[in-house]
Amino acid sequence: MNTTRLQLTLCIMASFLLTSCASMIDKGRVEDRQKELLYNEGTRALINKDYPQALTHLLKARAIDDQDTRIHNNLGMAYFF
């Protein structure tokens, strides 16, 4: 009886662990997608010489990933212009 309870407990714990890992992966994918959309919108605004709009989008993208050098490069150009 105790072995069955232990197995059941381990199964439940494993399913919680797998579920939490899967949700973290999904969250990372969503954030990556948001970052890319914001980066693309910021870049498009930069090309169209709408610098305030470019800054808005690029700053939001940087808030998601502050290590992306593409975002920093375009932010620098938006501030320069």
- Interior CA angle at 16 toward 11 and 22, to 5°? 125
pLDDT digits (tens, 9 = 90+) for 11-21: 565 665 555 55
Structure confidence at residue 35 (pLDDT): 96
Place of tokens 């009886």: 1
Inter-residue contact 72 to 55 (CB < 8 Å)? no
Q: Could you tell me which residue, 33 or 9, shows the higher pLDDT? A: 33
Question: How large is the average pLDDT for residues 63-73?
Answer: 96
Retrieve residue 63's tokens: 């808030």
Helix (H, G, I), strand (E, B) or coil at 37: helix
Structure confidence at residue 28 (pLDDT): 79
pLDDT digits (tens, 9 = 90+) for 14-55: 665 555 555 556 777 899 999 999 999 999 999 999 999 999
How far is the C-alpha of 35 from the C-alpha of 67, rounded, in Å?
A: 12
